[in-house]
């Protein structure tokens, strides 16, 4: 007879981890099984770190899968404003979201997060940056950030792993879930390639890496979804001195611009002062660009993403495919590497060559990036949105629109489609099936994904209590 768990959690990213944490805290003795596609935290090694930054396309990718999901190798920037990192306020209201962020932040502190917070004090220098932003038609969103750094982030999630394991949570790695088991509109468990698992409640938090699989499952099981947005853009890299004022005052300033031409929303995202540009690989070897920074190891450069939000309308309903198509086009020209172009070459309509790349003050931190021409990859509209944004940002951080500024492409955020859930994050069409985190299109960052996990745990506890 197969064991029946109280709760099965699919995906061991921050959303899944915080579900398990809150469940075990409030209901010690509850039986929890976590099924994770990737590796154990102690076995998550990216070969790039020891072979000169060259990606060898591991499967599954240690950067995006395994214990702590995409969070493990992330820069660990915890956004403490409910306005950033997802849409939780749409489900629970802004005040509850704020309160839940405080609660979850305390858990991060308990497991070793740094006490310092960047960007929450209004200094004259910050006000001056705000004034320059207005002049440049940029909206400055204030978001206090607790910065862990990549090494500290891994340490923290390792401690959470040990805590959950010692509290009796069963975790199975290298165990991708392939199907849901649903009967009479109620979830009974899940299937993996080797075994079926049964549980009273199933919580699904498969992250961006699992979102394609999740959408296919929703289609098979007639679980309603809706088309979300897709963010496409580039990662910008410049010398630290260009961004110093913003770095020193905010660590990360979130700036939004609506373009004068087509009124598209362009925003800065995930800034890494002294950081490193990185490539990450999705299924089928699709290379997209990202960036991170370490607490101690620093480069001479700052990198951040510039993302253009695209909301598609009928009849088109496959924004993830659209984003991947563009990324594939870039991969085609670079043999699956990340493309890099100098801003000066882009506006002049010419390819960046190795010679042009290395005549600058800036030295690229992504060593295997291939110099190329982003205008052969990005749609005209996105390209011009990015150029307009860089020119606006140059008014706040003079030097950003310099010829030597590097643009790496493409950065795509695959959080497009949204699983429809009620206010308790439960599917309205299948009982006892909960969806959370980035994979369900609800969150887009560590803090909101973690908060979402806590909220789902509380809903499950409420359900359990009402039954006993």
CA distance 430 to 42: 36
DSSP classification of residue 118: B
Q: How far is the CB of 413 from ligand FAD (least distance, A)?
A: 9
Residue 257 interacts with ligand FAD (CB under 6 A)? no
> Of the candidates 107, 449, 454, 455, which one interacts with ligand FAD according to CB under 6 A?
449
Number of amino acids touching ligand FAD (CB under 6 A): 46
Please, what is the Cα angle at 253 between 247 and 256, to 5 degrees? 145
Give least dist CB 329 to ligand FAD, A: 21
Please tell me whether residue 66 binds ligand FAD under the rule CB under 6 A. yes
Q: Given the complex with ligand FAD, which of 310 and 443 has the nearer CB atom?
A: 443
Contact pattern from residue 152 through residue 191 relative to ligand FAD, giving x for each residue in contact according to CB under 6 A and a dash for the rest: ------------------------xx--------------
Give which of 269, 280, 230 is closest to 414, Cα–Cα.
230
Angle at 281 between CA 278 and CA 285, to 5 degrees: 140
x/- letters, 280..299, toward ligand FAD (CB under 6 A): x---------x-x-------
Per-residue contact track with ligand FAD, 15 to 44, x per CB under 6 A?
Answer: xx------------------xxxx------
199 counts as binding ligand FAD under rule CB under 6 A: no
In this complex, which beta carbon is closest to ligand FAD, that of residue 339 or of residue 446? 446
SS3 416: coil
Among 64, 392, 402, 405, binds ligand FAD (CB under 6 A): 64
- By the 10 Å C-beta count (0-12 exposed, 13-18 middle, 19+ buried), 59 is classed as exposed
Query: Could you count the other beta carbons within 10 Å of the beta carbon of residue 94?
Result: 13
Q: How many CB atoms lie within 10 A of CB 180?
A: 22
Output the six-digit token pair for 221: 């099981």
Q: How far is the CB of 331 from ligand FAD (least distance, A)?
A: 17
388 binds ligand FAD (CB under 6 A): no
DSSP 84: S
Residue number, 105 or 280, with CB nearest to ligand FAD = 280
- Residue 6 burial (CB < 10 Å; 0-12/13-18/19+)? middle
Nearer to ligand FAD, 76 or 372 (CB): 76
Cβ closest to ligand FAD, residue 164 vs residue 401: 164
> Taking the complex as a whole, how short is the minimal distance between the CB of residue 447 and ligand FAD, in angstroms?
6
In angstroms, give the least distance from the CB of 442 to ligand FAD. 8
Among 53, 82, 119, 210, contact with ligand FAD (rule: CB under 6 A)? 210
The tokens for 364 are 């690229």
Burial degree of 15 (CB within 10 A; 0-12, 13-18, 19+): buried
Among 445, 451, 456, 459, binds ligand FAD (CB under 6 A): 445
Please give the Cα distance from 268 to 428 (Å, whole number).
35
Regarding 10 and contact with ligand FAD (CB under 6 A), the answer is yes
Q: Kindly report the length of the chain.
A: 468
CB-CB contact of 221 with 180 (8 Å): yes
Piece in contact with ligand FAD (CB under 6 A), picked from 128-136, 155-163, 305-313, 440-448: 440-448
User: Which of these, 431, 437, 432, lies nearest to 455 by C-alpha position?
Assistant: 437
Residue 193 φ then ψ, to 5°: -60, -30
The residue among 17 and 390 lying less far from ligand FAD, judged by its C-beta, is 17
Q: What share of the chain is helix, strand, coil (3-state, %, to 5)?
A: 35, 25, 40
Q: Is 101 in the site for ligand FAD (CB under 6 A)?
A: no
CA angle 444, 445, 450 (to 5 degrees): 110
Give me 442's structure tokens. Answer: 């609800």
Smallest distance, Å, CB 137 to ligand FAD? 26
Contact between 457 and ligand FAD by CB under 6 A: the answer reads: no
Query: Is 411 an interacting residue with respect to ligand FAD (CB under 6 A)?
Result: no
* Closest distance of CB 319 from ligand FAD, Å: 18
- Interface ranges with ligand FAD (CB under 6 A): 10-16, 35-38, 64-66, 69-71, 73-77, 79, 85, 176-177, 205-210, 213, 270, 280, 290, 292, 437-439, 443-447, 449
């Amino acid at each position: 007879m197969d064991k029946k768990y109280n709760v099965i959690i699919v995906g061991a990213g921050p959303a899944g981890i915080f579900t398990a944490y809150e469940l075990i805290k409030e209901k010690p003795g509850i039986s929890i099984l976590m099924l994770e596609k990737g590796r154990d935290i102690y076995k998550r090694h990216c070969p790039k770190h020891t072979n000169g930054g060259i990606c060898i396309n591991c499967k599954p990718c240690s950067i995006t899968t395994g214990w702590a999901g995409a969070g493990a190798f992330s820069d660990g920037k915890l956004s403490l404003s409910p306005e950033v990192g997802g849409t939780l306020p749409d489900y629970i209201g802004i005040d509850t979201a704020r309160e839940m962020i405080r609660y979850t932040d305390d858990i991060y502190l308990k497991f070793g997060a740094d006490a310092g917070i960047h960007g929450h004090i209004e200094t004259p220098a910050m006000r001056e940056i705000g004034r320059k932003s207005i002049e440049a038609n940029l909206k400055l969103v204030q978001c206090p950030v607790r910065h862990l750094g990549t090494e500290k982030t891994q340490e923290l999630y390792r401690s959470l792993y040990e805590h959950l394991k010692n509290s009796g949570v069963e975790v199975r790695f290298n165990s991708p879930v392939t199907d849901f088991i649903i009967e009479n509109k109620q979830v009974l468990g899940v299937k993996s390639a080797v075994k079926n698992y049964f549980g009273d409640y199933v919580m699904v938090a498969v992250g961006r890496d699992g979102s394609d699989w999740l959408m296919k499952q929703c289609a098979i099981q007639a679980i309603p979804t809706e088309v979300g947005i897709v963010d496409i853009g580039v990662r910008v890299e410049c010398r630290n001195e260009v961004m110093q004022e913003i770095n020193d005052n905010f660590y990360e300033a979130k700036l939004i611009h609506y373009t004068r031409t087509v009124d598209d929303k362009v925003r800065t995202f995930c800034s890494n002062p002294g950081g490193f540009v990185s490539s990450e690989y999705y299924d089928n070897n699709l290379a997209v660009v990202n960036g991170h920074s370490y607490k101690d190891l620093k480069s001479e450069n700052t990198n951040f993403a510039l993302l253009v939000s695209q909301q598609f309308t009928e009849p088109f309903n496959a924004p993830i495919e659209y984003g991947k198509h563009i990324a594939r086009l870039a991969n085609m020209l670079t043999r699956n590497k990340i493309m890099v172009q100098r801003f000066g070459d882009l506006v002049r309509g010419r390819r960046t060559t190795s010679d042009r790349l290395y005549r600058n003050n800036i030295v690229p931190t992504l060593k295997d990036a291939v110099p190329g021409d982003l205008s052969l990859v990005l749609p005209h509209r996105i390209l011009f949105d990015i150029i307009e944004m860089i020119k606006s940002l140059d008014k706040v951080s003079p030097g950003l629109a310099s010829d030597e500024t590097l643009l790496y492409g493409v950065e795509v955020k695959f959080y497009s489609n949204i699983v429809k859930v009620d206010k308790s994050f439960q599917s309205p069409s299948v009982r006892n099936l909960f969806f959370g985190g980035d994979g369900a299109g609800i969150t887009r960052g560590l803090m909101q994904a973690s908060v979402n996990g806590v909220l789902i745990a509380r809903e499950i506890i409420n359900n359990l209590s009402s039954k006993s």
